[in-house]
Structure 1
Amino acid sequence: MPDTTSAAPHRHRSARPEPPRRSLQQTPPQPPSPFPDARAIRRQRRFTPALLIGILVTLGLLLLSLSTGQYAVFSEDGFWMFGITRVPRTVALVLAGASMAMCGLIMQLLTQNRFVEPTTTGTTEWAGLGLILVLWLFPGASMLARMSGAVTMAFIGTVIFFLFLQRVTLKSSLIVPIIGIMLGAVVSSFTTYIALMTDHLQTLGIWFAGSFTRVVEGRYELMFLVLVVTVLVFLTADRFTVAGLGRDMATNVGLNYTAVLFLGTAMVAVATGVTATVVGTLPFLGLIVPNIVSLFRGDDLRSNLPWVALLGIATVTACDLIGRTIRAPFEIPVGLVLGLLGAVVFIGLLLRQRRKGGLVA
């Protein structure tokens, strides 16, 4: 009798169809990811029709700045005057507006406080002290030497401010700008005393006013140094975003918080010192612009940077045009116009924060 027990399984195995062999180079189609690419979202948020409109409006203000003045451009020497006065002035408006607005944004991230900028931390007052010290010790100092003194003292003053914040427990977000304003007032008093004793009080008054009247060919070239700061802000925006989450969070994700803090302080000092030497103080610019942009677009630093730069340029240019036309042929310093506008916005931010219950941490 034949053995059928072993043949049945054999017939069963031969009757089953073999699955097709899949090539090693063929991969199964992957379903589309439910999460969109983060870079694509950033590109969509960064390049929008509204940004194009903002660029066109800013360019319109700059063209208006080039065409505004008491000197007839189409006269015999008009084109020459146009090149040595209005073009440098407009270039300085662009560089100062963009850099100082970004400095305010950097300081707000590093201190985690929306009321902080170079004016409310005493950085501008320290820059003025450096300027007066150079004029006192070296009466014939060049613009580069004055700028070096202003940048050095601005850096020292900003470091002192950050060190003070790290050693004080704050219960209210208002304490931070109050501390900065108090330190700035002390430094400003000392600066005024030195200026009075060395007959530089008039120079100090012009510096505190902040005006683009003196910006002509041969005096504005140092402003291109702040262009380096502006480009560097774009390149290191992600690091400042992570640092804005706090020291512990930044350290946990592998970021050198101290190095980023040092870099931000150096960038703010350079921009503030150069702008103070060439133009003077631009109060509240770094407070107005980042808060308005964040109010409409949130806190995404990378996508907000073009808006901060554009709004900073537009704000300074508009205030300068107001100062040049409201009492023509005389000029009102742009610092006075910015100070009035900034005070109104600062009070509005305080009232808004109070309604939200955010003044107390």
Structure 2
Amino acid sequence: MPAESDRLVKRRISLLVVFAVLACLGGIISIMKGSVPIPLAEIAAALLGDSAGTHQQILMNIRLPRTIVAAFVGINLSLSGAILQAIMKNPLADPHIIGISSGAGLAGIVIMLALPEHSWLIMPVAFAGAMGAAMLIYLLAWKNGIRPIRIILAGVAVSAFFGAGISAMMIFYSDRVHSALMWMVGGLSARSWPHVELLWPYTLAGLVLALVLARQLNILQLGDELARGLGLSVERTRLLATAVAALLAASAVSVVGLLGFVGLIVPHAARLLVGSDYRFLLPAAALLGAAVVMFSDTFARTAFAPVELPVGIIMAVLGAPFFLFLLRREL
């Protein structure tokens, strides 16, 4: 048995290495590909400060910050989805599907349209909206315990409610709506170094907190009664984990908008490969999420050039059939 356990750990670590390589590969391809292809040798020279010119300007001012933002967003949404699936005991939980992103989106759109001069408020207000949505869904779904179908139904209702609020804001401020359209779909266009600076502290803090909670999330999978018997404060753990998931989702939404399905697809793919041990599942989801969003964004901006699609469209095309497949299997 110990030998078998050692083999399992080695297999999981090997898969984490593979996911890390995929993430690095996704970043390199994202930097290389575009309307102006940049050779790998020039990328290395530009990063080391040994070159100047148009390629260096494109790399340092456009593609590199956009690629970093894509990686951070993939990490945040994937971790948020993995945590929500644990605390809500629902394999279909995802910050976009169950309405947490819509809560953050409504709060963000209010600031963006009604108070554009206070754009610095988008992040904290989006977090408050995401946390409020998560608590509302949890309360609506609670009836002698949590059942997956109730969370989905409560999430759909809450998402529709917040979606109506977003639509109303766009009607009231129709003269400013153009700036919010890309944000509504979920896109990385024009994301630059200020967005990297805004996002990285939340990504780092969310990743550390998620990894700290890995043991508690593992215990939570055993069921509430057994978890209490093992000394876990179930409701306090759920509240803390919900706050971390809301922080991760809100930070991503505040920068790229309502990007959906990342938190659904990636944790499931990681779970199929590395198992349900959150000590390995969380880093696997983070690495795979970064890779998926970077590859998807590269495809979105190059496949139909010179037209650039928002990455949210690509994720919806991938995610909607996947969600239907999971829904049929779970129900």
Band of TM-score, shorter chain: 0.7 to 0.9
Alignment of 1:236-247 (within 5 A): 236-247=213-224
Per mean C-alpha deviation after superposition, the further-off stretch among 75-84 and 211-220 is 75-84
Distance in 2, Cα, partners of 1:46 & 1:234: 16
Alignment of 1:258-269 (within 5 A): 258-269=235-246
Q: Which SS does the other structure have where 1:140 is aligned? A: helix
Residue in structure 2 matching 1:333, options 310, 314, 323: 310
Kindly tell me the number of residue pairs found equivalent between the two proteins: 317
Per mean C-alpha deviation after superposition, the further-off stretch among 109-118 and 127-136 is 127-136
Residue in structure 2 matching 1:51, options 11, 16, 26: 16
Matching residue of 1:36: 2
Matching residue of 1:150: 126
Is 2:283 aligned against 1:306?
Answer: yes
Compared CA separation, residues 248 and 46, structure 1 to 2 (3 A): same
Is 2:159 aligned against 1:184?
Answer: yes
**Percent identity for Structure 1 against Structure 2:** 26
Distance in 2, Cα, partners of 1:331 & 1:168: 48
Paired residues of 1:281 and 1:335 also in contact (CA < 8 A): yes
Distance in 2, Cα, partners of 1:41 & 1:236: 25
- Deviations, residues 43-81 of structure 1 (Å, cap 9, x unaligned): 424312x43333223211210001122246577233133
Compared CA separation, residues 281 and 333, structure 1 to 2 (3 A): same
Paired residues of 1:206 and 1:280 also in contact (CA < 8 A): yes
For structure 1, list consecutive stretches of 5 or more residues without a partner in the other structure. Answer: 1-34
Residue in structure 2 matching 1:292, options 255, 262, 269: 269
Distance in 2, Cα, partners of 1:52 & 1:219: 28
Per mean C-alpha deviation after superposition, the further-off stretch among 72-81 and 271-280 is 72-81
Is 2:72 aligned against 1:95?
Answer: yes
- Deviations, residues 93-128 of structure 1 (Å, cap 9, x unaligned): 111111211111100111111011101110111111
Q: Which SS does the other structure have where 2:2 is aligned? A: coil
Residue in structure 2 matching 1:208, options 184, 194, 213: 184
Per mean C-alpha deviation after superposition, the further-off stretch among 337-346 and 224-233 is 224-233
Paired residues of 1:226 and 1:270 also in contact (CA < 8 A): no
Distance in 1, Cα, partners of 2:275 & 2:294: 25
Paired residues of 1:62 and 1:317 also in contact (CA < 8 A): yes
Matching residue of 1:13: none
Compared CA separation, residues 119 and 346, structure 1 to 2 (3 A): same
* Cα drift, residue 169 of structure 1: 6.6
Is 2:258 aligned against 1:281?
Answer: yes
RMSD: 2.3
Q: Which SS does the other structure have where 1:211 is aligned? A: coil
Give the helix-richer structure, 1 or 2: 2
Distance in 1, Cα, partners of 2:231 & 2:303: 53
| TM-score calculated relative to the size of structure 1 | 0.81
Q: Greater RCO between the two (CA within 8 Å, min separation 6)?
A: 2
Residue in structure 2 matching 1:235, options 212, 217, 221: 212
* Cα drift, residue 292 of structure 1: 1.9
Query: Larger C-alpha radius of gyration, 1 or 2?
Result: 1
Paired residues of 1:104 and 1:287 also in contact (CA < 8 A): yes
Which amino acid in structure 2 is aligned with residue 61 of structure 1?
G
Per mean C-alpha deviation after superposition, the further-off stretch among 74-83 and 101-110 is 74-83
